[in-house]
Amino acid sequence: HGRFRQHVLLQEQLYVMLPLHFAPFSGSNVTFVFINTIMTWTEAQSYCRDHYTDLASVRNAAENQKLRDAAGGKLAWIGLLRDSWKWSDGSTSSFSFWKNGQPDNKNETCVAADFSQSGTWEDWPCDMERAFKIYSVGNQK
């Protein structure tokens, strides 16, 4: 396994995650380190793609828990998008962790995880400003 980077940006603080031994999609070997900014979902995605790889794709409960542990009770964008509920990186996953009553189909196409409430997911308008999580496998650009 080479060196991999994973980054998290959270409300009020931009948090950077740097796992040294990360098995993609396993969620078991991820270590998080922190940094500072909030953006709309689209701005967050662009930032991630320009500087790293993409918004966080959550593939299993272990990854969701790791992100929750790192988030410190914040509400943060993740890479899920109402495009057949695909991840920003184009991948699909059978794992989901929706809050009760979500998604509520109110023309909200982007997803934030509420880490103050066990990391459950909610759909939101993409133009809301939130903190966000970057998921990048590979080196920083």
Listed ranges 47-56, 77-86, 132-141; the one with the highest mean pLDDT: 77-86
- Looking at the domain assignment, is residue 140 inside a domain? no
CATH code at 122?
Answer: 3.10.100.10
Asked whether the predicted pLDDT for residue 6 surpasses 50, the reply is: no
pLDDT given at position 55: 79
Show the domain range for 67: 7-135
**Strand runs labelled E in 6-140:** 7-9, 54-55, 75-81, 86-87, 110-114, 120-124, 131-135
- SS3 assignment, position 85: coil
- Looking at the domain assignment, is residue 141 inside a domain? no
pTM: 0.73
CA–CA dist 22, 5 (Å, integer): 8
- Looking at the domain assignment, is residue 1 inside a domain? no
- Looking at the domain assignment, is residue 119 inside a domain? yes
- Looking at the domain assignment, is residue 37 inside a domain? yes
| pLDDT per position as a tens digit, 52-68 | 677 788 888 988 887 78
Asked whether the predicted pLDDT for residue 36 surpasses 60, the reply is: no
Asked whether the predicted pLDDT for residue 11 surpasses 90, the reply is: no
Asked whether the predicted pLDDT for residue 12 surpasses 80, the reply is: no
pLDDT given at position 134: 53
pLDDT given at position 16: 30
Which of 60, 62, 59, 81 has its CA nearest to residue 132? 81
Counting the structural domains of the chain, the total is 1
